[in-house]
Amino acid sequence: MPAKSLTVVVSQSQSKNPARRQLEEELVAALLLDETVDVAVLPHLYDLHADHSGTLFLKSQPGHLVVLCWMYPRSAHWLLDRAGVKGRRGETRLVEVDDDGEEIEIPESEGIGGLDIPDRDIFCLDLGQDSDSRVYLEEISRITEELAVETVDLADWISGSPRPEQLQRYLDPQSMLADGGRAEPVKRRWYPVIDYERCTNCMECVDFCLFGVYGVDAVDRILVEQQDNCKKGCPACSRVCPENAIVFPGHKEPAIAGALGEVGALKIDLTRLFGGDLGLGTAVSERDAELLRDGREAVGAGVGMPKRQANRDPSRRDEFDDLFDGLDSMNS
């Protein structure tokens, strides 16, 4: 069988929303007719554990990848990187826009960056961006034409490959859609994902998290070491990260879920500004709530507070000072 130029992976939604299922089915049906790509269907990427055959499938693909999934592309890229599915972030024409419809530019990388990046591109497309399957199919067609290269065939597995029946399951995406993941079920998970293009290795997340989620690797880089220690629904470490480098793909707040944009450019919710805790205060409250659920004592702001706040010069201005000055000028 001749090699295909591209492998396209459809990562299913965690929900059984009929509109989402229909979009997935339309995409798979059209892609199966495209002789230039191989197509596979996997459960939601966030729920795959290290030994799941879906993870092994992704790790076995040596060439360029397009991943269609229900999360922000930034989250998907670093989630794949964490699983050992590495590559350059492929540029697409499906751009994220802000509330005013303006394109959000990817900020210049100031982080420590990824390690051992192979010479291939991974294009992550957010299925929540548009409900029209043609939008994604046209983008996949454009990517295929631009790459126009030969890659190793989908059927060429690395040594120590999954069993033949596992391989066949992913080569039969329509069956996977109908099966609903019952052949190898997954459970919903909750854990942080680190964006190493933003992460500066400041270790503030290690100091703040008291549940043993974070650790360091052999070269003293921060990593998520015990992801299942993370408390479901708690994104406190993301709130204290000074670079917005920690994302929780399933969170409802875009900034925490992996939306693009500079940290300082994130819009301030005035209802929260005047009616409740902000940022660090919320993070402390979230952490204390989880400590109490574990039968431990709440520690408040006395433990693991970010160094940038503990040593903050009170005369130094930030965007909140500017906001208050603006409000004052409106009332004068």
* 262-294: pLDDT as tens digits: 544 443 443 344 444 456 788 888 888 888 888
Q: Say whether pTM exceeds 0.95.
A: no
With CA atoms as reference, report the closest residue to 28 among 48, 55, 9. Answer: 9
Is the pLDDT reported for residue 159 higher than 80?
Answer: no
With CA atoms as reference, report the closest residue to 288 among 203, 206, 210, 204. Answer: 210
Dist CA 14 CA 2 (whole Å): 34
Q: Beta strand 65-69 with 6-11: parallel, antiparallel or unpaired?
A: parallel
Is the pLDDT reported for residue 254 higher than 70?
Answer: yes
Q: What's the mean pLDDT in 77-98?
A: 89
Dist CA 76 CA 125 (whole Å): 9
Is the pLDDT reported for residue 88 higher than 60?
Answer: yes
Own/partner contacts of 21-24, CB < 8 Å, gap of 24 or more, are 21/177, 23/127, 23/131, 23/133, 24/127, 24/177
Across 28-32, 66-70, 76-80, 316-320, least confident range: 316-320
With CA atoms as reference, report the closest residue to 199 among 72, 49, 47, 78. Answer: 78
**Where are the chain's structural domains?**
6-179, 193-331
With CA atoms as reference, report the closest residue to 234 among 285, 278, 187. Answer: 285
pLDDT level of residue 297 (50, 70, 90 thresholds): confident
The backbone torsions φ and ψ at residue 76, rounded to the nearest 5 degrees and listed phi first, read -60, -40
Is the pLDDT reported for residue 326 higher than 50?
Answer: yes
Give 39-59 pLDDT, tens digit per residue: 999 999 999 998 898 898 899
**Buried-exposed string 68-95: b where 16+ CB fall within 10 A, e elsewhere:** bbbbbbbbbbbbbbbbebbbebbebeee
With CA atoms as reference, report the closest residue to 23 among 134, 124, 97, 123. Answer: 134
Q: What's the mean pLDDT in 56-76?
A: 93
Q: What's the mean pLDDT in 104-130?
A: 87
Q: Which helix (H) or strand (E) holds 32?
A: helix 18-32
- How far lies 232's CA from each of 52, 190, 245, 250, 287, in Å? 21, 5, 19, 10, 11
Query: So what's the pLDDT on residue 256?
Result: 92
Maximum Cα interatomic distance, the chain, rounded to a whole number of Å: 75
Q: In whole numbers, what is the pLDDT of the chain averaged over residues?
A: 80
Give the chain's radius of gyration (CA, Å): 22
Is the pLDDT reported for residue 115 higher than 80?
Answer: yes
Q: What's the mean pLDDT in 94-98?
A: 72
Across 4-8, 191-195, 277-281, 320-324, least confident range: 320-324
* Residue at 14: amino acid letter: Q
Q: Percentage of the chain with pLDDT > 90? A: 47
